[in-house]
Structure 1
């Protein structure tokens, strides 16, 4: 068995397996990303579909469930688009303010670092040339999004329709003695993902309301749009919260004088983050799987490196499923503990030293 092999043989095999897995995930990203999103959506919509299926044919229940989901999403998109339309109302004033700030920044750079205005312009031109590739990637990403818009509904419908077939396959592919363990993993995974996604939706709505109210009170332009975008960015653990603060600070800088509003925005967002992290997430995002902060940050960055922005959103549910599997398999339980948020009071070295001392104490007695 592989377990009896020495470490210097097992380590290269594990690393080779990881390299091959990452390579396959990267090559097949255009297929796997919409499939992963469709799987999460199918799990989320499954309870409503099951309830409707008791009163009508399966295909009709799936279609009605998906139509309800599309209507809710369309309403949200209409609301955001109406807010985006107001963003361009004061575009000329923001351009003028941005030019003033840029002029001040150029003078400061020239006085502090001795970089002439001409040199700064050359640096900006070089940066603009380098950004052409990024613009090309963005345009290709837009085309990818259009294809995903059509693929995700199709995948979602087919996953929900062939749900029984897929579940039976997962049961039958393992031996009989492991089928109970497989059933436990599947049921726990479904419950964890459902509670996680529903909790995130509720938490995001509350954070969006708090962000928007705070920005409206402080008089920040496009407060509702920026507040909602900040709540969506907050879905990315730790990283999204930092980006969410920068948006209203930038808007306040372009539309107001002085720095009082910016400081108040930072204070308000810090308070909202405190409420979110200490009250909303523990109470509302009632996921059965808790991932520690270190692993959350690492997995989000790895997801971004592998699949871009979609990978950042998919990384946490993915690692949650892995933790459920690790916790159920004897040889992988240490990895499950590493991913978890439970911190031991003592490490194994201390426990072993205490156990060694006890016999010596007994002998002296």
Structure 2
């Protein structure tokens, strides 16, 4: 699009690189340190939260003697305390193991912007080099590539914008109520859009848990939860149709099945790439029965 308004490919690549590096630096040195600190505070405060939950659970047999057994509640509380004693050791082990991951991330922060720059700058030369080693009769592959290229590009652009908009809106909403760990929870909500439907369901659990322990079942809790639900509803019914009007056209059931199947095959990365893989299969199925595909070289 920058080239469409008169920028040369080199200038367009430079602008993209500057924006990309700027966003990475903002995330690395502003957002993530605060979110990391809030995560440490959350882990520190979690025993107190679970103690409150244990105390609340202990009152249930007295309130509902016909439904709750005191022995079961005591066993659950003891199991919860045991898990909390083991959590400290797990956090230390994870922190030590994550040092290697942090070094790897630092390398990626240097390499990825350079890759983006050269991919944008020398896109045509790279595509021409690939075309020279491919068979001349590549009609099916060309048709699949054209459909995939357009849909995946729109999908990635839309997802990045959706993450930013949903994350910022959620953060502002949580700040309005003074919710603890607001930035950490907003980051989790923003990243949850990468996993359709399932991500929103999973991230709601910590949001509700933190709000419940901070506010109780009072007006502030229900107001905060209502704002969160409104943001989720606006995301699904307004933001997604606007951002993905030209992107992948997949039925919600297909998306859920893709997440479940590819997640079962390849774990986290299967979930992360479920939509692109489903789009690839859709493009192949769409092109295959036609029989008369146009040659990509024409």
TM-score normalised according to structure 2 size: 0.72
Change (3 A) 1:148 1:185: farther
Q: Give the structure 2 partner of residue 157 of structure 1.
A: 115
Change (3 A) 1:145 1:120: same
**Residues 1:241 and 2:193 are matched in the alignment:** no
SS in 2 for 1:115: helix
The 8 Å contact of residues 299 and 316 in structure 1, kept in 2 or not, is answered as: yes
Shift of 1:65: 4.8
Cα deviation 1:133-178 (Å, max 9, x = unaligned): 9997897677457436536864772982885576346545654343
Q: Distance in 1 between matches of 2:87 and 2:40?
A: 27
Q: Distance in 2 between matches of 1:133 and 1:255?
A: 25
Q: Give the structure 1 partner of residue 51 of structure 2.
A: 99
The 8 Å contact of residues 162 and 193 in structure 2, kept in 1 or not, is answered as: no
Q: Give the structure 2 partner of residue 73 of structure 1.
A: 24
Q: Give the structure 2 partner of residue 192 of structure 1.
A: 151
Shift of 1:47: 7.6
The 8 Å contact of residues 50 and 80 in structure 2, kept in 1 or not, is answered as: no
Cα deviation 1:320-349 (Å, max 9, x = unaligned): 2332232222279xxxxxxxxxxxxxxxxx
**Which of the numbers 56, 66, 72 marks the counterpart of 1:115?**
72
TM-score normalised according to structure 1 size: 0.60
User: More displaced, 221-230 or 120-129?
Assistant: 120-129
Shift of 1:239: 0.6
SS in 2 for 1:221: coil
Change (3 A) 1:90 1:141: closer
Tell me which structure has the larger Cα radius of gyration.
1
User: More displaced, 79-88 or 239-248?
Assistant: 79-88
Q: Give the structure 1 partner of residue 184 of structure 2.
A: 225
**Residues 1:176 and 2:136 are matched in the alignment:** yes
Q: Give the structure 2 partner of residue 203 of structure 1.
A: 162
SS in 2 for 1:253: helix
Q: Distance in 1 between matches of 2:86 and 2:38?
A: 31
Change (3 A) 1:115 1:310: same
User: More displaced, 308-317 or 159-168?
Assistant: 159-168
Shift of 1:99: 1.6
Shift of 1:284: 1.3
Q: Give the structure 2 partner of residue 147 of structure 1.
A: 104
The 8 Å contact of residues 152 and 248 in structure 2, kept in 1 or not, is answered as: no
Change (3 A) 1:263 1:178: same
Q: Give the structure 2 partner of residue 297 of structure 1.
A: 256
Higher RCO structure, 1 or 2 (CA under 8 Å, sep 6+): 2
User: More displaced, 85-94 or 211-220?
Assistant: 85-94
Q: Give the structure 1 partner of residue 295 of structure 2.
A: none
Unaligned runs of 5+ in 2: 292-298
Q: Distance in 1 between matches of 2:148 and 2:2?
A: 13
Change (3 A) 1:188 1:259: same
- What is the aligned length? 281
Q: Give the structure 2 partner of residue 167 of structure 1.
A: 127
Q: Distance in 2 between matches of 1:145 and 1:103?
A: 39
Unaligned runs of 5+ in 1: 1-44, 56-60, 333-365
Shift of 1:282: 0.8
Change (3 A) 1:191 1:101: same
The 8 Å contact of residues 289 and 324 in structure 1, kept in 2 or not, is answered as: no
Q: Give the structure 2 partner of residue 330 of structure 1.
A: 289
Q: Distance in 2 between matches of 1:249 and 1:122?
A: 22
